[in-house]
Amino acid sequence: MTDRSDDFTPQLAAVRGIAAEVAAKHAADVDARSRFPSETLAALRAARLLSAPIPPALGGGGFDLRQHAEICATLAKACGSSAMVLAMHYVQLACIVRHGREQPYWREFLRECAERQYLLGSLTSENGTFGEMRASLCAVQRAPEGFVLEKDATTGSYCAQADAILVTARRDRTAPETDQVLVCVRRADARLEPTGTWDALGMRGTCSPGYRLHARGGAQQILSEPFADIAVQTMVPYSHVLWSSLWWGLAADALGRAGEYVRDLARRHLGSLPANAVPLAHAAAQLEALRHHWLGVAAEIDALAAAQGEDRRVLNTIEWALKLNHLKVAASEASARIVHEALQVTGLLGYKNDSPYSVGRQYRDVLSASLMISNGRLLAKNASMLLVCRER
């Protein structure tokens, strides 16, 4: 049985079509009204792209990480919020595929996800843990019929639209903050009370207010592997690669608009090189380097999966932790810098919201990159690791 789809050309063509014909058309309205990109998600569902991470034997696409990253990058060129929703969904599914699929309950759940094209959300943030994903205050409470879970999350993207949500919590009420499990809560078994609004600078279509979650479910809905392993072996690698690819897509979109602007100028002043063609070339070199960065890390992770199968312990090493944090920090900074340079190239026409060269939405969206798991927090962790890791 192959778990991997090798012929990716038709799927990528389908994503390009959805990006151009659906996501790009609705992106401005999604952004202006801070609303969920429902048209794009409906098109992705119709193309069966929500099940891309699920093995073909369970009804999914069996795509590898590089292929998921190409999809997110392509969609981000049209609508950053749509790409972020899809990326977060892929990360959640990958956690179940890689850490649960040997168990009958999860195999059945994955089959159901593929058949019904479920959308999965995530609640790792929590009031009182201050952005630290690897600590929880809330705890799973064992109940006669399974578990009960209550969580006060600071941020929860598209929870109102999700069919299930993966939630981090302490293993039980006696466990320390870092002894976490990952619980899959079905939307029908959850009550979500919004505790705030989502009127944000960018990524407005992700619809990410805070929520108080009240949920119950069966004991089998708690992934048996510790969240510590799921985080380092899947959640962090997938998040950092997929987010980087979509931030790159935002930068590519902005720079594409800058390129159009410069070509338009060149056509109007034949025979002379527009002054802003050189800054455009400078930004294009950075864009290319960034693409190679996320593609390279994705390819390494795919090669590991091919060589070592279910044994992913190498991802628990300091070297891999550093490599993944380097990607996240570098990609979030580079993508924002490139969008900023695109704005310098386009000038006022890029600054105006109603111009074809506008890079306003891309600029606001990309500013979330350094905050989404804060770069300061990651650099502090890297600084400690670099003290004990000389060989690079």
Ligand X SMILES: Cc1cc2nc3c(=O)[nH]c(=O)nc-3n(C[C@H](O)[C@H](O)[C@H](O)COP(=O)(O)OP(=O)(O)OC[C@H]3O[C@@H](n4cnc5c(N)ncnc54)[C@H](O)[C@@H]3O)c2cc1C
Stretch in the footprint of ligand X (CB under 6 A) among 150-158, 217-225, 337-345, 351-359: 150-158
Contacts of 234 (CB under 8 A, 6+ apart): 91, 94, 95, 98, 99, 312
* Residue 226, C-beta contacts closer than 8 angstroms, at least 6 positions apart: 179, 180, 181
Residue whose CB is less far from ligand X, 117 or 374: 374
Distance CA 368, CA 327 (A): 16
Q: What is the footprint of ligand X within residues 182-211 (CB under 6 A)?
A: 203, 206, 208
Q: Which of 206, 244 has the CB closer to ligand X?
A: 206
- 197-201 contacts: CB < 8 A, separation 24 or more? 198/34, 199/34, 200/34, 200/368, 201/364, 201/367, 201/368
The span from the first CA to the last CA of the chain, in angstroms, equals 37
User: How far apart, in whole angstroms, are the C-alpha atoms of residue 318 and residue 260?
Assistant: 43
Q: Which stretch binds ligand X (CB under 6 A): 33-41, 53-61, 154-162, 294-302?
A: 154-162
Contact call for residues 153 and 125 (beta carbons, < 8 A): yes
Residue 153 CB, nearest approach to ligand X (Å): 6
Contacts of ligand X in 103-122 (CB under 6 A): 121-122
State the nearest-atom distance from the C-beta of 139 to ligand X, in Å. 17
d(CA 180, CA 257): 45
| Closest chain position to ligand X (CB) | 131
User: Do the beta carbons of residue 43 and residue 101 sit within 8 Å?
Assistant: no
Residue number with CB closer to ligand X (204 or 323) = 204
Stretch 72-101 residues interacting with ligand X (CB under 6 A): 88
Nearer to ligand X, 206 or 325 (CB): 206
Q: Measured from the CB atom, is 124 or 234 closer to ligand X?
A: 124
Q: Does 228 bind ligand X (CB under 6 A)?
A: no
Q: Rounded to the nearest whole angstrom, what is the least distance from the CB of residue 303 to ligand X in the complex?
A: 28
Q: Contact with ligand X (CB under 6 A): which of 155, 180, 221, 239?
A: 155
Nearer to ligand X, 72 or 373 (CB): 373
* CA neighbor of 50 nearest in space, from 31, 63, 37: 63
Using CB under 6 A, pick the residue from 14, 71, 97, 153 that binds ligand X. Answer: 153
Closest approach of ligand X to the CB of residue 152, in Å: 11
Longest dimension (CA), the chain: 79
Least spacing, CB of residue 151 vs ligand X, in Å = 9
- Which residue of 143, 273, 306, 380 would you call a contact of ligand X, by CB under 6 A? 380
**Applying CB under 6 A, which part among 15-23, 273-281, 307-315, 366-374 lies near ligand X?**
366-374
- Interface with ligand X, residue 143, by CB under 6 A: no
Instruction: Give whichever of 323 and 364 is closer to ligand X, judged by the CB atom.
Output: 364
Sheet architecture: strand order including 141-143:
141-143, 146-153, 211-217, 190-194
CA distance 208 to 320: 29
Nearer to ligand X, 156 or 350 (CB): 156
Rg value, the chain, Cα: 21
Site string for ligand X, 233-272 (x = CB under 6 A): ----------------------------------------
One of 79, 86, 372, 382 touching ligand X (CB under 6 A): 372
Say whether residue 131 binds ligand X (CB under 6 A): yes
In our burial notation (b when 16+ CB lie closer than 10 A, e otherwise), range 150-160 reads: ebbbbbbbbbe
Read off the tokens for 92: 């959640």
Closest CA to 341 of 285, 270, 269: 285
Q: Considering the rule CB under 6 A, would residue 123 count as an interface residue with ligand X?
A: yes
Of the residues 281, 282, 376, 386, which one makes contact with ligand X according to CB under 6 A:
376
Show the tokens assigned to 384.
């400690």
User: 3-class SS at 101?
Assistant: coil
331: contact with ligand X by CB under 6 A? no
Q: Which two tokens stand for residue 230?
A: 């799921």
- The verdict on 377 binding ligand X (CB under 6 A) reads yes
* Residues in contact with ligand X by the rule CB under 6 A: 88, 121-125, 130-131, 153, 155-157, 203, 206, 208, 368, 371-374, 376-377, 380
